[in-house]
């Protein structure tokens, strides 16, 4: 996992404009790339100022008991209001698939939205539960503002969760 720094904030925090993660597998006496992904800040109306891996929420465990680790990487962005107008991306790598939950934070209820890949609901229950617990912890820690009713919406396997009617 790498983060490309580009500036220092007035509070003396490092600001990053790009991230990249690569998973490699040892095969005999060399390595092969299994997957990689990249992302960067978005300078549009959201005017993001930093992107970074949220390592406190990452997991590298065997959730389904098959002897292989299912990596869970979480990263997010910040903008003028810090976490409250940034994005959160949860990536789960399972059986060769990259499955994501993408969330837009906002102080305004109607602007919060969570998009859940349909494949998330096919994951083992233990992995789904671990992700939902991470989402609850993000809210408790003040890093996320998920739409009201998101837990029930996920139980009903909704792929778009927001408070718009």
Domain extents in the chain: 38-162
> What pLDDT sits at residue 151?
96
Question: Which residue carries 């790498």 as its tokens?
Answer: 2
- Counting every residue written for the chain, the total comes to 165
Q: pLDDT 10s digit of each residue in the chain, 165 long?
A: 999 988 887 778 888 899 999 999 889 999 999 999 999 998 776 788 999 999 999 999 999 999 999 999 999 999 888 888 899 999 999 998 999 999 999 988 899 999 999 999 999 999 999 999 999 999 999 999 999 999 999 999 999 999 886
Tell me how far apart the alpha carbons of residues 17 and 114 are, in angstroms, rounded to a whole number.
23
Question: What element of type H or E holds 7?
Answer: strand 2-8
Which long-range contacts (C-beta less than 8 Å, at least 24 apart) are formed by 22-25? Answer: 23/71, 23/93
Tell me how far apart the alpha carbons of residues 131 and 71 are, in angstroms, rounded to a whole number.
11
Distance (Å) of CA 44 to CA 30, 75, 79: 42, 19, 11
Residue 144: phi and psi, rounded to 5, are: -140, 145
> What pLDDT sits at residue 165?
65
> What pLDDT sits at residue 76?
96
> What pLDDT sits at residue 82?
84
> What pLDDT sits at residue 159?
97
């Amino acid at each position: 996992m790498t983060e490309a720094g580009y500036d220092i904030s007035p509070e003396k925090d490092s600001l990053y404009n790009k991230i990249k993660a690569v998973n490699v597998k040892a095969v005999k006496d060399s390595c092969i790339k299994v997957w990689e992904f990249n992302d960067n800040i978005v300078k549009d109306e959201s005017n993001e100022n930093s992107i970074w891996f949220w390592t406190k929420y990452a997991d590298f465990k065997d959730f389904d008991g098959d002897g292989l680790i299912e990596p869970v990487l979480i990263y997010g962005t910040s903008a003028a209001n810090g976490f409250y107008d940034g994005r959160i991306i949860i990536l789960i790598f399972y059986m060769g698939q990259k499955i994501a939950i993408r969330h837009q934070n906002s102080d305004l209820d109607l602007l919060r939205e969570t998009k859940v890949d349909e494949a998330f609901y096919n994951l083992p229950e233990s992995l789904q539960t671990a992700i939902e617990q991470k989402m609850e912890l993000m809210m408790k820690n003040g890093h996320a503002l998920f739409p009201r009713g998101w837990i029930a919406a996920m139980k009903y396997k909704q792929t778009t969760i927001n408070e718009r009617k």
